[in-house]
Amino acid sequence: MPAVPCKTGCGKNAMLKRPKTGDALCKECFFWAFETEIHFTITKGELFKPGDSVAVAASGGKDSTVLAHVLKTLNNRYNYGLDLMLLSIDEGITGYRDDSLETVKRNRDDYEMNLKILSYKDLYGWTMDEIVAQIGRKNNCTFCGVFRRQALDRGAAMLNVKCIATGHNADDIAETVLMNVLRGDIARLKRCTAITTGSEGTIPRVKPLKYTYEKEIVMYAHYKKLVYFSTECVFAPNAYRGHARALLKDLEKIRPSCIMDIIYSGETLSVKEEVSMPTLRVCSRCKFVSSQEVCKACVLLEGLNKGLPKLGIGKSSKAKKMLEEYNAKQKAEIDKLNYEFKKNNCVSKGKICKSKCNNVSNGKNDECNDNNCKCSTELNLPVNPKINKLLEEYGLLDDNQEQSLNQDLTKNGNSGLEENTCAGACGGIDGFSIAF
Ligand code: SF4
């Protein structure tokens, strides 16, 4: 077959056909085109400012490896003035994440960037292996995705960076547009093509690879001989996204520009005024951004810790109902213990005073006729160890504990929360009271 000259006219022979444009290019011109397009994406989208510190969300996979490599190249070539570092999350998936983290460590050495690794075990008290053992292979990615999102926010806050750069590529975004159309999720459809996300008070996330085709990322990594990890997660499900991906790949074969066209469609969609958009606020427990009073990570963790793993799956009204039932059950159990305890310790011996000690009567008298009844000294009753054990077990505080906790919080302000972090997603205090 006769050699095809590189389309740029550089004089070299073409080595490849660009999946995005169909151009026949030599390796060097492909590298230049690939990197320059990302540079345009960064400058046009004003993703960074000189002097910014940027955490590259690094999984060891092709996207984040290429992202770290290209950002380092462009930072040097165009003097962005960025302080780049790597941020990795260890979900605790044996046979997958433990190996891919070794690749991230190699990236750290190759690109001379600092690396911070945060684990689910340290943040939430659970590894994904343990979560899957508890919940099975369905919905595992819901837990993983929600926890990872928050873990990245936490890591970025610890590193004190200006933004997080993620490796989402054009295929990922086009898939998400398709998925949101197929699900009729208009609120997400509106947001999913944004190149920068994050509300006021949160660390923004930017997507420098937003217009970069997955196939070109693989080509770039291959020809540059970059070290990356390509094994699929052992818990990867046959999720809905997989169908959207397959559809997109089929469409790409017929018309490669469809990826850009779908992103463009998503960007230019205008959503009716009456479509309600989530209002972002701060989670009342962990203080990270949430669209609900209690964020999804805290709800999921609560479910895991209480043996109700389905708590955060599905609608929040369902979770609320489950938790109310659970709390009512626990309260009844504690009330029963209280009753038994008071009855056995009542000095009036059987003449239990309803009006004073708020205990139930013996069925004959609503009130104790004993003028010297000491049942009313409820607060002075000796501490019932069984009740305290239950309170501790269910994470319920009694009034006195809650009062002193509130005093602590008022004294320390929000900054005190991090110092007293519990092992869970709440990031706040051990043993919060349950209320949604
Ligand atoms: Fe987590 Fe699911 Fe991705 Fe595996 S496939 S890393 S479980 S989100």
Cα distance between residue 141 and residue 204, in whole Å: 23
**Rounded mean pLDDT, 364-392:** 50
Return the H-helix or E-strand segment holding 303.
Answer: helix 296-305
Which pLDDT belongs to residue 246?
Answer: 92
Q: Where are the domains of the chain?
A: 50-274, 276-337
For residue 27, the tally of other CB atoms under 10 A from its CB is 16
The whole model's pTM is what? 0.73
Instruction: Give yes or no for residue 398 having a pLDDT over 50.
Output: no
Cα distance between residue 10 and residue 13, in whole Å: 9
DSSP per residue, 22-50? --EE-HHHHHHHHHHHHHHHHHHTT---T
Question: Which of the given ranges, 111-115, 276-280, 332-336, has the highest pLDDT on average?
Answer: 111-115
Q: Which of 144, 146, 148 to mutate to test the pocket of ligand 1 (most atoms within 8 A of CB)?
A: 144
Q: Which of 63, 88, 89, 91 to mutate to test the pocket of ligand 1 (most atoms within 8 A of CB)?
A: 91
The mean of the pLDDT values for the chain is 80
Which pLDDT belongs to residue 211?
Answer: 98
Of 2-6, 166-170, 301-305, 394-398, where does mean pLDDT reach its minimum? 394-398
Sign of CA dihedral 178, 179, 185, 187: negative
Q: Is the separation of the CB atoms in 291 and 279 below 8 Å? A: yes
Question: Which of the given ranges, 200-209, 357-366, 383-392, has the highest pLDDT on average?
Answer: 200-209
3-state SS of the chain: helix, strand, coil percent to 5?
A: 50, 10, 45
Cα distance between residue 46 and residue 171, in whole Å: 22
Which pLDDT belongs to residue 141?
Answer: 87
Helix (H, G, I), strand (E, B) or coil at 197: strand
The residue among 96, 41, 407, 58 whose CA lies nearest residue 260 is 41
Sign of CA dihedral 248, 250, 251, 256: positive
The residue among 280, 323, 282 whose CA lies nearest residue 300 is 323
Ligand 1 midpoint to CA 420 (Å): 30
2: amino acid identity, one letter: P
Ligand 1 midpoint to CA 276 (Å): 30
Question: Which of the given ranges, 173-182, 319-328, 359-368, 408-417, has the highest pLDDT on average?
Answer: 173-182
More confident of the two residues 381 and 187: 187
Residues with CB under 6 A from ligand 1: 91, 128, 140-141, 144-145, 233, 235-236
Which pLDDT belongs to residue 426?
Answer: 27
149: amino acid identity, one letter: R
Which pLDDT belongs to residue 54?
Answer: 98
Which pLDDT belongs to residue 388?
Answer: 64
Which atom of ligand 1 has the smallest separation from the CA of 145? 8
Helix (H, G, I), strand (E, B) or coil at 282: strand
For residue 243, the tally of other CB atoms under 10 A from its CB is 14
**Over the stretch 217-250, which tens digit does the pLDDT of each residue have?**
999 999 999 999 988 888 887 667 888 999 999 9
Cα distance between residue 64 and residue 25, in whole Å: 24
359: amino acid identity, one letter: N
Which atom of ligand 1 has the smallest separation from the CA of 233? 4
Instruction: Give yes or no for residue 424 having a pLDDT over 60.
Output: no
**Over the stretch 9-55, which tens digit does the pLDDT of each residue have?**
999 999 999 999 999 999 999 999 999 999 999 999 999 999 999 99
The residue among 359, 416, 423, 415 whose CA lies nearest residue 395 is 423
Q: Is the separation of the CB atoms in 278 and 185 below 8 Å? A: no
Which atom of ligand 1 has the smallest separation from the CA of 141? 2
Helix (H, G, I), strand (E, B) or coil at 150: helix
**Over the stretch 298-336, which tens digit does the pLDDT of each residue have?**
888 888 888 877 776 766 666 667 777 777 777 787 777
Beta-carbon-side half-sphere exposure of residue 203 (alpha carbons within 13 Å): 25
Give helix 240-254 / helix 258-268 axis angle, nearest 10°: 120
Helix (H, G, I), strand (E, B) or coil at 372: coil
**Over the stretch 92-109, which tens digit does the pLDDT of each residue have?**
999 999 889 999 999 999
Q: For the domain 50-274, what is the CATH code?
A: 3.40.50.620
Sign of CA dihedral 233, 239, 241, 247: positive
Residue nearest (by alpha carbon) to ligand 1 atom 6: 233
Instruction: Give yes or no for residue 175 having a pLDDT over 70.
Output: yes
CA distances from 370 to 105, 144, 363, 380 (A): 75, 60, 16, 19
Residue nearest (by alpha carbon) to ligand 1 atom 8: 141
**Over the stretch 178-192, which tens digit does the pLDDT of each residue have?**
999 998 888 888 889
Sign of CA dihedral 349, 354, 360, 361: positive
Ligand 1 midpoint to CA 141 (Å): 5
The residue among 323, 342, 343 whose CA lies nearest residue 331 is 323
Which pLDDT belongs to residue 283?
Answer: 84
**Over the stretch 47-102, which tens digit does the pLDDT of each residue have?**
999 999 999 999 999 999 999 999 999 999 999 999 999 999 999 999 999 889 99
